[in-house]
Amino acid sequence: MRFGTPYDEVYAENAFVPEKESRLSVLANAVSYGTGTFEGIRACWNPDHQELYLLQARAHYERMARSARILGLEPPHGPDQLVHLTAELLRRNGVRADAYVRPLLLQAGEQLAVRMHDCGTRLYLAATPMPDDYIDRRGVRCTVSAWRRTADAAVPNRAKVIGSYAGPALAKTEALRNGFDEAIMLTGDGYVAEATTSNVLIRTGERWATPAATDDILAGITRSQVMRLLREHTGAVVEERRVHRSELYSCDEALLCGTAVLVTPVVEVDGRPVGDGHPGETTLAVQRLLQAISRREEADHPEWTTPVYGAARC
């Protein structure tokens, strides 16, 4: 099954139902206006444990609750219940492989009014297989996009608004058509923001830097994990600050991080090699570490994972 093909059962409007029977009206408010918020959660299969682990599920639902507050939506359940429903969805589908869960809190009512209130907020959960080759983890070639991030004063990026992904979609297509793997987007005033669905970290000399949460990014959960692992395992200084475009062109190491890409080295930006043009050693070490943590092959940070089947040592 390819990425995006749903497993047989989904959670739609308060019940688990066969995906074929789940229905969202063509006149649902969110279909026309992108009104709603979503998350993406990784589930990692460990064949030795015969266990599937949700990675940072609670953190994702805490973020969804904050997004809902910004948008003025009422989630039907709190984060703990949503983690429980997510595990149940994967169990019902008998998932025993890497997977990706898509929670959606959207305006599903048949309402063509452009507004955020009274549009029938509904929760949906679906899961799809997560392929190994989603991104080339050996390193990607990036370009700085002509498409910029929207300002927080226009669309709140931190609320992960469904409709706000048209900009990143344009940037991704532009990058691929121009022969790159991924786009890095700037803020309206020309500072580095993030890639289309992942955050950016760079190392220059001893110091790591990543655009601040106030630079129109989605402050990723993986970004927090990577900053933490860098500090814990290398003792490195990691700054959250404004990052110039020219720093992308002159840094010694760069990486993308996010739920889908996990940790991916950047080897080139706009034709300039990052460092010596090979994946950075620290990047590869953090990549290995996070991959191991996500399957509990590594004792560090078991609090970041939740067993789905409950068979493993917690």
Phi, psi values for residue 310, rounded to 5°: 80, 10
> Burial of 53 by CB count in 10 Å (0-12 exposed, 13-18 middle, 19+ buried)?
buried
**Interacting residue with ligand PLP among 111, 121, 187, 199 (CB under 6 A):** 199
Is there a contact between 49 and 312 (Cβ–Cβ < 8 Å)?
yes
Closer to ligand PLP at the Cβ: 67 or 121? 67
* 243-262: contacts with ligand PLP (CB under 6 A): 258-259
Closer to ligand PLP at the Cβ: 130 or 312? 130
Specify the residue for token string 């475009």: 245
| 198 part of the interface to ligand PLP, by CB under 6 A | yes
| 40 part of the interface to ligand PLP, by CB under 6 A | yes
Q: How far is the CB of 299 from ligand PLP (least distance, A)?
A: 22
| 222 part of the interface to ligand PLP, by CB under 6 A | yes
Closer to ligand PLP at the Cβ: 109 or 265? 265
Cα–Cα distance measured from residue 121 to residue 113, given in angstroms and rounded to the nearest whole number = 14
Phi, psi values for residue 139, rounded to 5°: 140, 145
**Which part of the chain contacts ligand PLP (CB under 6 A), choosing from 66-74, 114-122, 194-202, 243-251?**
194-202
**Interacting residue with ligand PLP among 125, 162, 200, 221 (CB under 6 A):** 221
Q: Which residue is nearest to ligand PLP (CB)?
A: 220
Q: How far is the CB of 10 from ligand PLP (least distance, A)?
A: 20
Is there a contact between 263 and 288 (Cβ–Cβ < 8 Å)?
no
| 79 part of the interface to ligand PLP, by CB under 6 A | no
Angle at 51 between CA 45 and CA 52, to 5 degrees: 45
Classified as helix, coil or strand, 267 is strand
Distance of alpha carbon 176 from its chain centroid, rounded? 20
Residues that bind ligand PLP (CB under 6 A): 40, 168, 194, 197-199, 218, 220-223, 258-259
